[in-house]
Structure 1
Amino acid sequence: MTNVAHGSGRPGSFASLRNRNYRRFTIGQSTSVVGNWMQNIAIGWLTLELTHSGTVLGIVTGARYLPIVLFGAWGGLVVDRHDTRRLLLLTQICFGAQAALLTVLSWTHLLTLPLLIAFMLALGLTNVLDNPARQKLIGELVDPEHLSNAIAINSTFINTAKLAGPGIAGSVIATLGVAPCFALDTVSFLAVIVSLLRLRTAEMYPAEREDHAKGQIRAGLAYIRRTPELLYPMLMVYVTGILTWEFPVSLPLLTTSAFRAGPAGYGTAMAVMSVGGVLGGLVAVRRRRLGTRSLSVSAVIWGGLICAAAMAPSLPLALVALVFVGAASITFNSSAKTLMQVTAAPRMRGRVLSIWSIGWLGGTVVGGPAVGAIGATWGARGALFAGGLAAAGIGLAVLALSLRGGVPRHD
C-alpha cells in the first residue's frame, strides 16, 4: 500500500493559499469553472431538447473526450516539453473563442446537432493540452511540501464554484434559454487568463523540461506500468472514469425521466452534488496520509452511495443522497490526483496526468454512450446504479489485493 504524507509537520489546512501565485490561479480558475458548468448544463439540456434521447446525449458528451483518447498521451508529452503557463494561456484563449462562437450560433438558432458535436470535438482538442497543463501547473506554483495540500484546496475551490454554475444555469435556461449560459461562459474565461498573466514567474517552481527524443510516450506508459504506486490507482481511475463519472448523462436522465423535473431540477441535482464536493474537499484538505488501500475504500463507499441515490423513491431523498455522492466523488478524485502527482517524477508528470485524463475524462467516449444506452434499456435508475456497482467493484478488487499483499507497501 502506498502511503503519501502531506509534508513534514502539520501545516494549516489552507497553507497553500499563503502562496500568492497559487492563490491567484485558483481564484481565477474557480471563476471560470462557474461559466464552464453553466455551459455543460446548457449543452446537456439542449441535446435533450433536440433529440429526447439519452443515447444521443451520451454520444454528444463522449465527443468532447474523443480527442483526449486519441491524442491525450501526446498532449502530456507536449506539456512535459514546454512552458506550462504559456500553454495554458493558449488553451484558455481557444476556449473563450469557442464559447463565443457557440453563443452566436445558439442566439441565431443556427446550432444543430451536427454542429454541436463538432463543437464538442473542438473543445476536446483544446482539452488535450489543457488538462495535463492545468494539473501540472499546480506543482509549479507551490513547493513540493505543500503540493498535496494545494491539489485538495484546488478541488475544494472548484466544487465551491460548481455550487453557483448549475443553479444559475437552471434558472437562466428556464427563463431566458441556453444562449445566455454560453455568453456568460465566454466572459468567465477572462478571469483565468488574467490570473495567468499576473503570475510571478520568478516565484514559481518550474519542473525540468523533457528533451526531444523518440519513444517518450512509450516510456511514460512503461513508467506507470512498473510503478505500482501509480498503476493501481490508475486502474481504479479508468474503471470509474468509464462507468461511474458519467453524471452529465445519468443525472439528466434521472431528473427528467424518473422524477419528471425540469431544467431547474437537473441544476439542483448538480448543485447539491457540488455542496457535497465542497465537504469532500475539506476532508481531503485535512488528510495527512494517503494510500492505495484508502483510495480503494473511498471507491467502495462512493459506489455504495451512488447505488443508494439510484434507489431513492423521491427527488428530495435522491438530492440528500447526492450530497454524499458529491463528497465521496471529490474525496476519491482528489486522493487519486494527489497520489499521481506526488508519486510521479516531475519530468514525467505531464504524461502521467495525461494518462489519468484519458481514463477519468476520455473514458466518457465509451462510458457516455454506454451509460446512455443502459438508461434507455433499464431506465434512468439503472444508468446511475451501473456506475455505483463499477466503483464499488473495482474498489473491492484492489482492496482485496492490498489485504493479500498484492499491492506493494511503500511508506
Structure 2
Amino acid sequence: MSGESLHPSGHGPDGANRTSTTGELAAPPGREGSGGGMFGSLRVRNYRYYASGQVVSLTGTWMQRAAQDWLVLELSGGSAGALGVAVALQFLPTLLLTLWAGTAADRFDKRRLLIATQIALGACGLLLGLLDVSGVVRLWHVYALCAVLGAFAAIDAPVRQSFVVEMVGPSQLTNAVALNSMTFNLARIVGPAIAGVLITAVGTGWVFLANGISSAAVVGGLLLMNAAQLHRPDRVPKERGQVLAGLRYVRRRPDLVAVMVLVFCVGTFGMNFESTFAVIARNVFGRDADGYGLLITMLAVGTLSGATLAARRSGKEGSRLRLMVFGAAAFGLLEAVGALMPGYWSFAVMLIPVGVAVMTFTTSANSTVQLSVDPSMRGRVMGLYMLLFLGGKPLGGLASGWLAEVLGPRSPVLLGGLASLLAAVGCGLLLWRGRRSGVAEPGRLG
C-alpha cells in the first residue's frame, strides 16, 4: 500500500505438512515466526520493496487523514456530527465490498489487484487536493470522495492482508505482520506531525496532493517485485457460493469466531479515537491543527512501541489467543482511564500505553487468523476479518459524533474503552469455558 510455493494442501517447500487433522495450519514448533530476529522478514527481497514503498505511501495517507478531518471541521463550523458522517461514508463501502474482495484475493493475482487499488487511492487524494487548492471544495465534495476512497480501500484491505504471507512465507508471517505495524505506526507519527505544520503553513489542499503523489512509491515497489519468488498457492477456480463457503469455514471454527467477535467490538466501539481527537483538541482543549496532530502522534508512539515489542516477540512460543484477549482488555481499560485525564498533556501522554495495548491486540489477532486457516481460504477469511474490523466504523463513527454532541467530546473515548473491556472479558470467559469443557485451543499455534 501493504521462490518457493505454499500449496493449498498445506505442504510447504520443505515437505513439512502444515495442515493439521482439523484443517488448520499448524506450523512446526519454533518455525512459524523464527529466523532472522526482529527484522527477519526484511531479508526477503520482495518484502523489502513492499515495506519501502509503504513507508512513503502510509506517511501520505496519515497526512491526508489529519487534513481531511480538519477540513471537515472547517467546512462544517466545527461540527462533530459532520466528522462522524465523513468517517461513516469512508467505511460504509466495507460492508458491501470486503467479502467480495476476499473472494477476489483467492481467485486473482493479488499483486496486480494491489497495483490497481493503490493507483485509484492516489487519484482520490489528487482530486480532493485540486478541489481544495482551487478554492471550490465544499463539504459534499469531501463526503463523496470519502465514499469513493472507502470503496477502493475496502477492496485493497483483504487483498493486502492476505498478500503478506505470499511475500515472506508462513515462517516469517508473524514477523512481517509486526513490521507492517511498525511501518504503519511510524507513518502515523510522522504523517500527522507533517500535516499539522503544512495545514498551518499552506492549507489542507497541498497535503492531499502530497498524499496522491506518495502512492507512486508503493506502486513502484509492487512493480519491482520478482513474481517468481512469491509463495503463491494455487488459485481457487470460480465456483458458485464461494463467499458462503468462507463464512461456513469460519463458523465451524470456534477460535476464529471468538477472534472475529472481539475484533468487531474493539474496532467498532474502541478504535474510533482518531475521529474524536480533532473534536477533543479543538473543542475541549482549544488547540489548533498542530495540537490535533500531536495527539495522533502520541498514540502512534505507543502503537509503534507495541509493534516493536510484537516483532521482538514473533519468534517466541505462546498462545496468541490469550495475548489477544489480554491486549484487548488492557486497551479498553487504558482508553477509559485516558478519557478522564483533566489536561491536554496528561491526555496526550496517556495515549502512549493505549497505543501499546491496541497494537498487542491487533497484531496477535491478525497473525492468529492468518496462521490458522487453509491457504485456499485465506483471502475470504481475511475479507471477513477486515469487514468486521472496519465494517463497524460507520456505526462507530456516527455513534461517536452523536455521543460527542450529546454527552461531550470525551464520552466516545470513555464509553468505547469500557465496551472494549467488557468484550474482552466476555471473549476470555467463553474461551476459558471452551477449554474447560475439553475443546482444544486451535489458536495456540506456538
**Distance in 2 separating the partners of 1:8 and 1:135:** 17
CA-CA distance at 1:9 after TM superposition = 8.2
Deviates more, 1:176-185 or 1:354-363: 354-363
**What TM-score does the superposition give when structure 2 sets the normalisation length?**
0.89
Residue number in structure 2 paired with 1:383: 412
Gap change, CA 1:398 and 1:408, over 3 Å in 2: farther
Q: Distance in 2 between matches of 1:405 and 1:359?
A: 23
Match of 1:369 among 398, 415, 418: 398
Of the three residues 6, 11, 21, the one matched with 2:46 is: 21
Spell out, residue by residue over 1:269-319, the C-alpha distance to the aligned partner (whole angstroms, 9 max, x if none).
001111111110011112223422221111110011101210111111111
For 1:7, the equivalent position in structure 2 comes to 31
Deviation at 1:8, TM superposition (A): 5.6
- Asked if the contact 2:33–2:174 (Cα under 8 Å) also holds between the matched residues in 1, the reply is no
Give CA-to-partner distance per residue, 1:230-262, whole Å, 9 cap, x none: 111111110111111112222112212221111
Instruction: Supply the AA of the counterpart residue of 2:240.
Output: K
SS of corresponding position for 2:434: coil
The CA deviation at 1:85 is 0.3
Which one-letter code corresponds to 2:156 in the other structure? D
Give the distance between the partners of 2:210 and 2:30, measured in 1 at CA: 37
State how far apart, in whole Å, the 1-side matches of 2:389 and 2:441 are: 25
> How far does residue 357 in structure 1 lie from its aligned partner after superposition?
1.4
Specify whether residues 148 and 376 from structure 1 end up closer, same or farther in structure 2 by C-alpha distance, changes over 3 A only. same
Distance 1:254 1:283 in 2: 29
Give distance in 2, aligned partners of 1:351 and 1:396.
28
Q: 2:156 aligns with which of 111, 115, 130?
A: 130
Quick check: which has more Rg, 1 or 2? 2
Q: How does 1:289-368 map to 2 (within 5 A)?
A: 289-368=318-397
Post-superposition CA distance 1:154-181 (Å, at most 9, x none): 1112211211100001111112110111
Residue number in structure 2 paired with 1:55: 81
Tell me what 1:237 maps to: 263
Aligned residue pairs, count = 410
More moved, 378-387 vs 9-18: 9-18
Residue 31 in structure 1 maps to residue 60 in structure 2:
no
**CA–CA distance in 2 between the matches of 1:25 and 1:86?**
13
- For residues 138 and 158 of structure 1, what CA distance do their matches in structure 2 show? 14
Report deviation, 1:403: 2.6
Residue 342 of structure 2 aligns with an amino acid whose one-letter code is: P
In 2, distance between residues paired with 1:315 and 1:195?
40
Match for residue 214 of structure 2? 188
Check conservation: 2:258, 2:431, Cα contact below 8 A: no
Shift of 1:360: 1.4
Q: How does 1:254-293 map to 2 (within 5 A)?
A: 254-287=280-313, 288=316, 289-293=318-322
Measure the CA separation in 2 of the matches of 1:162 and 1:106. Answer: 23
- Quick check: 2:132–2:204 contact (8 Å CA) kept in 1? yes
Are the equivalent residues in 2 in contact too, given 1:138–1:147 (CA < 8 A)?
Answer: yes
Q: Distance in 2 between matches of 1:104 and 1:343?
A: 45
Question: Does 1:402 pair with 2:431?
Answer: yes
Residue 392 of structure 1 corresponds to 421
Distance 1:9 1:344, change over 3 A: closer
1:60-107: CA deviation from partner (whole Å, max 9, x where unpaired): 111011111012111111111100000001011111211111111111
In structure 1, C-alpha distance between the alignment counterparts of 2:138 and 2:30, rounded to whole Å: 49
Matches of 1:345 and 1:250, distance apart in 2: 38
- Where does residue 162 of structure 1 map in the other structure? 188
Q: Distance in 1 between matches of 2:221 and 2:375?
A: 23
Task: Tell me the secondary structure at the aligned position of residue 410 of structure 2.
Answer: helix
With normalisation by structure 1, the TM-score equals 0.96
Say if 1:401 and 1:174 are closer, same or farther in 2 by CA, change over 3 A.
same
2-structure distance, mates of 1:246, 1:7? 36
Q: CA RMSD in A?
A: 1.6
Distance 2:106 2:33 in 1: 31
Larger deviation, residues 399-408 vs 85-94: 399-408
Deviations 1:325-369 (A, max 9, x none): 111121111111111111121111111111111121121111100
Please state how far the C-alpha of 1:405 moved relative to its aligned partner: 3.0
Determine if contact 2:276/2:413 at 8 Å carries over to the other structure.
yes
Q: Deviations over 1:363-394 (max 9, x none)?
A: 11111001111111111111110110111111
Paired with 2:440 and 2:330, the residues of 1 have a C-alpha distance of 23
Contact in 1 for aligned 2:158/2:379 (Cα 8 Å): yes
1:22 counterpart letter in structure 2:
Y
Contact 2:33 2:173 in 1 (8 A): no
**2:392 and 2:71 mapped to 1: Cα distance?**
22
CA contact (8 A) 1:228 1:408 kept: no
Report if aligned partners of 2:97, 2:155 keep a CA contact under 8 Å in 1: no
Cα distance in 2 for residues equivalent to 1:68 and 1:90:
17
SS at match of 1:274: helix
Per-residue deviation, 1:145: 0.9
Please give the alpha-carbon distance, in whole angstroms, between the structure 2 residues aligned to 1:8 and 1:220: 24
CA change 1:158–1:8 in 2 (3 A) is closer
* Percentage of matched positions with identical amino acids: 35
Residue 44 of structure 1 contacts residue 248 of structure 1 at CA under 8 Å; is this kept in 2?
no
Task: Tell me the secondary structure at the aligned position of residue 13 of structure 1.
Answer: helix
Amino acid across the alignment from 2:226: R
Aligned mates of 1:31, 1:8 — CA distance in 2:
29
Mapping of 1:167-246 within 5 angstroms? 167-246=193-272
Opposite residue 125 of structure 2, the aligned amino acid is: A
Q: Which residue of 2 aligns with 1:40?
A: 65
Which amino acid is the alignment partner of residue 138 of structure 2? T
